[in-house]
A and B are shown apart, each in its own frame.
Chain A
């Protein structure tokens, strides 16, 4: 099975900061990677799919990059609404879907 490792687990930041979250895979994923934002008590929200494609309606301060085994989610200028937990997720052709363990972005 492919293992997904997100880092850091927790990130302390301030409004206006540039924030980067990394997701590493134990095997090459191509570009089959997505990023989600989840707030307490709410369902996850898709931000990025195919590693770098912004989901419709998601602010342009969010961006994704990478391929193979290393991927990043970047928030260019952190806004108050962005304090949340972020998950990466891999899809493989079996099919199965695997999530990273999450990164909590806090003040």
Chain B
């Protein structure tokens, strides 16, 4: 059974930083294409970043480009999201998800990031 579990969310002040982690099991992690998707409270879904199995290429949504950095450690079956210069509008549940045939087939339960003073 494929499982993805996010961690690292919490309360942070505007302008602050946070690092999210997602650890996977039940899949060949080193072959997996991984993404972060977020959902603001009461809002829809927004894709924010992609990383290939080899960490090249990497892509970001315009809304986070230059502030967020995605990375992975295949030896630890983990993907990370370093979030800097956080804004109030970054408040959301952050999900990691695998992608296959253009669709997100497995998701973690999510971790809540709250940006507030």
Q: Give the interface of A toward B (CB within 8 A).
A: 32, 34, 36, 38, 42-46, 49-50, 53, 55, 87, 89, 91, 94-102
Contact = CB atoms under 8 A, between A and B. Distances in A.
Interface of B: 35, 37, 44-47, 50, 59, 61, 95, 97, 99-105, 107-110
Contacts of B99: 91, 97
Contact of A99 (B46, B108, B110): B46
Contact of A89 (B95, B100, B104, B109): B104
Nearest to A102: B44
Nearest to B105: A46
Nearest to B48: A97
A87 B104 contact: no
B21 to A, nearest CB: 16
Nearest to B47: A97
A100 B47 CA distance: 11
B92 to A, nearest CB: 13
B102 A99 contact: no
Contacts of B97: 43
B105 A44 contact: no
Contacts of A45: 107
A98 B47 contact: yes
16 contacts: A36-B45, A38-B45, A42-B109, A45-B107, A46-B104, A50-B101, A53-B101, A55-B105, A87-B44, A89-B103, A91-B99, A91-B103, A96-B47, A98-B47, A99-B44, A102-B45
Contacts of B108: 43
A5 to B, nearest CB: 12
A102 B39 CA distance: 12
Given A95-B59, A97-B35, A99-B44, A44 B104 contact: yes
